[in-house]
A and B are shown apart, each in its own frame.
Chain A
Amino acid sequence: MMNREELISKWLNNDLNDQELEAFKMLEDYDDLVKLNDGILAFKATEYNTSTELEHVLKTIKTTKKQPTYWLKPLMRVAAVLAICFSVFYYTTTLDTTMTTEFAQKTIIELPDNSSVNLNAKSLLAFNKNSWKQERDVTLEGEAFFKVAKGSTFNVITKSGTVTVYGTQFNVKQREQYFEVICYEGLVGVRYNSQETKLKPGDSFLIIDGKQIAKEKENRSTPSWLNNESAFKSVPYKEVIAEFERQYEVDITLLDINSNQLFTGSFAHNNLEVALKAITLPLHVTYSKTNRTITLKRE
């Protein structure tokens, strides 16, 4: 004789034979089971019409016009490789050519179109060879003299302002709190604080500590530094000192000296003793020198 659980399990699975069915009917909870079983039927799932639902699905599929995606993955791989190749190519070709000079160093740079740049000490010049034909843009930090061949617009971009020219000679000096452009030939436009100033030969544009300073006509044909000499006309003394430090790679300390007083004069780049005298004597200043440190003191 089967036990109750087995009978019920067989009943659940529709597996009872006649004899077992009789035994099942003899169970004391037979009535309860049948009642439960009948009750359960009321909880039947809502009607599901397979063919209507299939129509819906097929319609949706056709309207979305889904392309099988199995070709997409390999295509993406190819695209990724191409993208990497392109970016490497793009990166290397657009890489700027950069020239820098150290203390007491000057250099001449030939640009791709025969324009030339003389770069003064402690300066940086960057330009892009590949886009040169489209735009003649150079980035400058420090001081440089440009001889620009005739052609399209030539831009010198500095932190202080942008200098735009067409074929000319001019000098740009951009140092801390100091921005000076002198035009030697042709016509130069200086864009400073989004205002453009046009310079004719001999004109200069000077900004010190954010203020524009008027200067008299320049009558040299090239900047003095190209001849290894720095010349100043009414320039704050601290600028003279800064230039001196760049040319001789020294540290200069000022004791009891007004660094804003104006200085007119020049110093040579090839003789420290003579140069020191040149910047101290006119102001009645004495100097003492230990190694690369120089102290200037009022007499």
Chain B
Amino acid sequence: MTKPLHENICEEHLFSTIFNKYAKDLHNFLYYKYGDLLNPKDKVQEAFIKLWENCAKIPPEKAKSFVFTTANNLMLNETAHQKVVLKHQQTKPKTYTNENPEFLMQETEYMAKLQKALAKLTEAQREAFMMNRVEGKRFKEIAEILEISTKAVEKRIYGALEKLRKDIKEL
């Protein structure tokens, strides 16, 4: 960030800029990590409201860390650490030309396996893997969001891929 030092988040335009920049990433991060059950959207809201309440104390360059940590803590306060099961979207990403019943059944089976396998990943693996695969983020971007090294991100994502394939085969 290249904002002048004296600017603080209490100014609405800066607050909005920060929101626009990070809210979606934060939401997706929470979603992939904890699933939909605990309302990631609400946690994003709460975290940004807390940011506003503390706007005088937090320099803009710390804002991202603050909302990510706050939202994550809000989640941790609620999760009973049950298995996170991600939901399929209604719309299929691909249209198939050869939709005979057997193929459809196999397809449904495969998706069920994939869902179970995703639930078996660790939170760290799942958040990194999904941001990469689904949101199309590169290792470096994920590393910045999670505040870990690119190498660690690569390891997590590759590990997640291998684990998924192994689990799908076994299921």
B contact residues around A50 at 8 Å (CB): 19-20, 23-24
Can you show 13 pairs from A to B with CB atoms below 8 A apart?
A12-B157, A13-B132, A38-B93, A40-B118, A41-B94, A43-B87, A43-B130, A45-B31, A46-B31, A53-B19, A53-B45, A54-B23, A58-B12
- Does any Cβ of B come within 8 Å of A292's Cβ? no
Chain B residue with the shortest CB-CB distance to A12: B157
Q: Determine whether the beta carbon of A57 is less than 8 Å from that of B48.
A: yes
CB-contacts of A25-45 with B (<8 A): 29, 32-33, 35-45
Q: Is the CB of B55 within 8 A of A68?
A: yes
Cβ of A299 under 8 Å from chain B: no
In chain B, positions 21-36 with a C-beta closer than 8 Å to chain A are: 23-24, 27-28, 31-32, 36
Chain B residue numbers with a CB within 8 Å of A51 are 20
**Main DSSP-derived SS at the B contact region:** helix
Please measure, in the bound complex, the distance between the C-alpha atom of A12 and the C-alpha atom of B93, giving whole angstroms.
Answer: 19
B residues in contact with A211, CB < 8 Å: none
Residue of A nearest to B132 (CB): A12
Residues of A within 8 A of B54 (CB): 69
Q: B114 at the A/B interface (Cβ < 8 Å)?
A: yes
Contact yes or no, B57 A70, CB < 8 A: yes
How many of chain A's residues have a CB under 8 angstroms from any CB in B?
A: 36
Q: Is A43 within 8 A of B88, CB to CB? A: yes
Q: Is the CB of A70 within 8 A of B158?
A: no
Which residue from B41, B56, B111 sits with its C-beta under 8 Å from A39?
B111
Report yes or no: A42 in contact with B28, Cβ–Cβ below 8 A. no
Give the shortest distance, in Å, between A263 (CB) and chain B (any CB): 78
Is A284's beta carbon under 8 Å from chain B?
no
A5 within 8 A of B: yes
